[in-house]
Amino acid sequence: MNLKFSGHTALVAGAGGGMGLQIARDLLCKGIHVCMADIKPQPENIPNGPGKSVYVQTDLACKTQTDELVSVALAEFGRIDYLVNTLGVLWFGKDKSVVDIDLEVWDEVMNINLRSIVLLAKAAVPEILKCGGGAMVHFSSIDALSGDPVPQDAYGASKAALIRLSKSMAIQFAKNNLRSNVILPGPTLTPMQQRWQDRPDVQSEIGATIPLGRLGSTQDMSDACLFLLSDHASWITGTELVVDGGITALP
């Protein structure tokens, strides 16, 4: 589908990661200017356009830095139409059952996965409203929907809270033409899942348990995200798009 976008500029949080970088690249290729933000240094393979980009290395769990980021986006491009929140952490080994987890780890995961979204909304939403509205897409996880025998309770709880927060923002700002939706990815090959990177055997093993027969790709997630940002989704707000190859439809 040749997607149409009324907006001109996007802020992509987590743009140094697997999904965020793919989304930023795809938006740039569609001619949208992108302010890319991540705690990681700038990746090498950012396309030269047709959209313009600026990359900000920043800690988005920190309010002064999210405020500064939005100032940079406005200074570079004069407006913000789209906010994409892909940043997040999943800490294998440290994030565990609620009865065993170190409370500092719990707080840190909540700060990065949830409070950062609050900080970004506080700074960016008023600017999107000044532009007459736009769209937000937040990345949760299918992990938000069910319990797990190998629990990562801070991650799951933060991702579940994100769904509710998005619905609330969708209702608050619908009258201002600002949409808010959530993508729930299934297992996807990105730096977050580094443990599978050089393990084609494990990738096939997991793929075989997924109805559509493979792990997700960053392109699968970017395609879903760009659709939700685009004008083709202009009557979609406050909802969740599960992109998981059919995992959650299994009995």
Ligand X SMILES: NC(=O)c1ccc[n+]([C@@H]2O[C@H](COP(=O)([O-])OP(=O)(O)OC[C@H]3O[C@@H](n4cnc5c(N)ncnc54)[C@H](O)[C@@H]3O)[C@@H](O)[C@H]2O)c1
Give the footprint of ligand X on this chain (CB under 6 A): 14, 16-20, 38-40, 59-61, 86-90, 112, 139, 141, 185, 187-188, 190-193
Cβ(138)–Cβ(229) below 8 Å: no
Which residue number is nearest to ligand X in terms of Cβ?
A: 17
- For 149-162, the DSSP string reads SS--HHHHHHHHHH
- We find the least distance from the C-beta atom of residue 2 to ligand X, in angstroms, to be 26
Output the smallest distance, CB 120 to ligand X, in A.
Answer: 10
Closest approach, Cβ 226 to ligand X, in A, equals: 15
Is 234 within 8 Å of 174 (Cβ atoms)? no
If the CB atoms of residues 7 and 187 are measured against ligand X, the closer one turns out to be: 187
Of 28 and 243, which has the nearer Cβ to ligand X? 243
Q: Which is nearer to ligand X, 4 or 189 (CB)?
A: 189
**DSSP string across the chain:** -----S--EEEEETTTSHHHHHHHHHHHHTT-EEEEEESSPPPS-----SS-EEEEE--TTSHHHHHHHHHHHHHHHS---EEEE------TTTS--TTTS-HHHHHHHHIIIIIHHHHHHHHHHHHHHHTT-EEEEEE--GGGGS--SS--HHHHHHHHHHHHHHHHHHHHHGGGTEEEEEEEE-SB-SGGGGGGTT-HHHHHHHHHTSTTSS-B-HHHHHHHHHHHHSGGGTT--S-EEEESTTGGG--
Residues 23/115/167/150 CA torsion (nearest 10 deg): 80
Q: How far is the CB of 200 from ligand X (least distance, A)?
A: 16
- Whose Cβ is closer to ligand X: residue 46's or residue 174's? 46
* Active site (annotated) includes residue 82: no
The catalytic residue among 5, 55, 82, 155 is 155
For the bound state, the minimum distance from the C-beta of residue 180 to ligand X, rounded and expressed in Å, comes to 16
CB nearer ligand X, residue 40 or residue 94: 40
Active site residues: 155
